[in-house]
């Protein structure tokens, strides 16, 4: 079977003017990489920490609301779209993933199987702990807290605290 050849995604180096919508007082620390800046919208008063990768996609949007803080070494892959509300805190080393491979045939290579894309939503005022991972299709409700190191595989209701692998409810706020 003939496979598509791999190609580079580019360097990720960008100029703020390349971003589709960019608010006032947006801080990009050193070594932030941005892919497909034409599909990124960033609100006002946003901090993006060192070595973070904002990997927008050729379709769908990566949208970051006002007054949001993103720690260093984060990885956001928005093939399915990412919507981050206002006043969201995102700790260092958080990963937000919006796509996954879905092999239709048992004998098929997972790498070359079809890609399933689903949007991730972080609602206003939620907080994502250090090294947490948010998987495709998940919504984190308003004011919810995700504990450090959690792997979130399903929707988190507003005002709840979730932690663990896989994440589950551990408290109310």
Active-site amino acid positions: 101
Q: Which of 83, 78, 121 is nearest to 99 (CA)?
A: 78
Q: How far is CA 135 from CA 45, 52, 104, 141, 151, in A?
A: 26, 18, 20, 15, 7
CA 128 to chain centre: 11
DSSP states along 56-101: --SSS-EEE-TT-EE-TT-EEE-SS-EEE-TT-EE-TT-EEE-EEE
Nearby residues of 73 by Cβ (< 8 Å), 6 or more positions away: 49, 50, 51, 52, 92, 93
**Cα gap 165→2, rounded to integer Å:** 38
How many CB atoms lie under 10 A from the CB of residue 124?
17
């Amino acid at each position: 079977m003939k496979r598509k050849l791999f190609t580079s995604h580019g360097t990720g180096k960008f100029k703020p003017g390349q971003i589709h919508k960019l608010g006032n007082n947006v801080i990009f620390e050193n070594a932030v990489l941005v892919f497909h800046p034409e599909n990124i919208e960033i609100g006002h008063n946003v901090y993006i920490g060192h070595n973070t990768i904002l990997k927008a996609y050729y379709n769908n949007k990566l949208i970051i609301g006002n007054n949001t803080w993103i720690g260093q070494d984060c990885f956001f892959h928005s093939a399915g779209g990412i919507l981050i509300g206002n006043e969201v805190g995102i700790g260092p080393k958080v990963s937000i993933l919006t796509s996954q491979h879905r092999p239709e045939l048992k004998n098929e290579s997972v790498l070359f199987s079809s890609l399933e894309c689903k949007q991730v939503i972080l609602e206003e005022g939620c907080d994502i702990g250090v090294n947490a991972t948010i998987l495709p299709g998940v919504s984190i409700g308003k004011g919810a807290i995700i504990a450090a190191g959690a792997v979130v595989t399903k929707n988190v209701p507003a005002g709840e605290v979730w932690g663990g692998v896989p994440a589950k409810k551990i408290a109310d706020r």
